[in-house]
Amino acid sequence: MSSPILSSPAIAAGPSGHAPIVLGWREYAALPILGIAAVRAKIDTGARSSALHVEAQWRFVEAGAPWVGFRLRPGAAGGGEVEALAPVADERDVTDSGGHRTRRVFIRTVLSLAGSEREIDMNLADRRGMRFPMLLGRTAVAHAFTVDPARSFLHGRVRRRPPRA
């Protein structure tokens, strides 16, 4: 018997005609353009936009266009401090889960998740105190993925330590 989620005609196939990839409510993802090989992500279909925790960010202008530099610790195995630069895609007000509105910088980057790559918009935020350095909202997963909220890490885990010999 198929899952009732996947049997719905509205989401049975993504825009490419393929069935959506099933994700757990938390997965490891990569942001290869930013040099992030693995970061723990919470998949949150209740959130519209995606967010990446940064410890510091600074704005600058390059060739007349706005850019942002930022520093973060992805937290996965081998995940030391990463510093990255990206053009600013947008700047918008975002309402957090506590109802507070803040203006955030958005970048456009490539998300690598579950063997699939896609371009997404992501805001840079101080997520200190949150359990996941990255939050993937519904616009990042729409039309390509479905989420099974009862499962986690369906596409593998990143080892924090090498296996014992």
Which CATH number characterizes residue 82's domain?
2.40.70.10
How many domains in the chain? 1
Query: How far is the C-alpha of 150 from the C-alpha of 38, rounded, in Å?
Result: 22
For residue 6, is it left (φ>0), alpha (ψ between -120 and 50) or beta? alpha
Provide mean pLDDT across the span 37-53. Answer: 95
Evaluate whether residue 14 is within a structural domain: no
Range of the domain at 54: 23-143
Evaluate whether residue 149 is within a structural domain: no
Evaluate whether residue 160 is within a structural domain: no
Residues 87-115: tens digit of each pLDDT:
999 999 999 888 899 999 999 999 999 99
Evaluate whether residue 67 is within a structural domain: yes
What's the pLDDT at 160?
A: 54
Evaluate whether residue 13 is within a structural domain: no
pLDDT at 118 over 90: yes
What's the pLDDT at 164?
A: 59
Provide mean pLDDT across the span 127-144. Answer: 93
C-alpha 52, offset from chain centre = 7
CB atoms within 10 A of CB 30: 20
Evaluate whether residue 74 is within a structural domain: yes
pLDDT band of residue 151 (cuts 50, 70, 90) is very high
Evaluate whether residue 158 is within a structural domain: no
Evaluate whether residue 71 is within a structural domain: yes
